[in-house]
Amino acid sequence: MPGFLLDTNTIIDYLEGLLPVDMLDTLDEIINQKANISVISKLELLGWYQASPEDLIKPFAFVQDANVINLDDVVVSKTISLRQVYKIKLPDAIVAATAMVFNLVLISSNISDFKNIEGLQILNPRIVEN
C-alpha cells in the first residue's frame, strides 16, 4: 500500500462518518497503520475558533495518534516553488508540498485546490472506484 497524507477535510469527514463506506474502511486501514498529516491539518483541526472542549475530543485524539509532518527546509522550499508556479493558498501549498516531498498520495475532497499541480498524486475520498 502506498503512503498517504490526509487533508483536513478528509479527516473531518472521516471523524463524522460522512464518507462512502468503502472509503471509511480504507481510511480505517490507513489510520491503523498511523495516518500521516501535515502540521497544517493539526493547526486547522485544533485551532477551531470557539470550539468547546467536547468539540475537540475527536480531533485531538486523532492528531495524538497521527504522524504529524512538520515544516522543514525541504518542504518550505517546495512550498515556495509551488506558490511561484501556481495560484494556491499558502496552507494548501504546504499540504501539497508535504505530500510531494514525502512521496505520499494526498487524500482530499478539495480537488479544485490541487488538481493542476504537476507531480502531485491525489485521491478524492468521495469517489469510490470499483
Structural domains of the chain sorted by starting position, each given as residue range(s) with its CATH number in brackets: 17-34+69-123 (3.40.50.1010)
At residue 126, the pLDDT reads: 93
Residue 128 has pLDDT above 80, yes or no: no
List, for residues 28-82, the tens digit of each pLDDT value: 999 999 999 999 999 999 998 999 999 999 999 999 999 999 999 999 999 999 9
Q: With contact defined as beta carbons under 8 Å apart, do 94 and 79 qualify? A: yes
Separation of alpha carbons 75 and 95, rounded Å: 9
For range 12-30, the mean pLDDT = 95
Residue 84 has pLDDT above 70, yes or no: yes
* pLDDT range class, residue 130, cuts 50, 70, 90: low
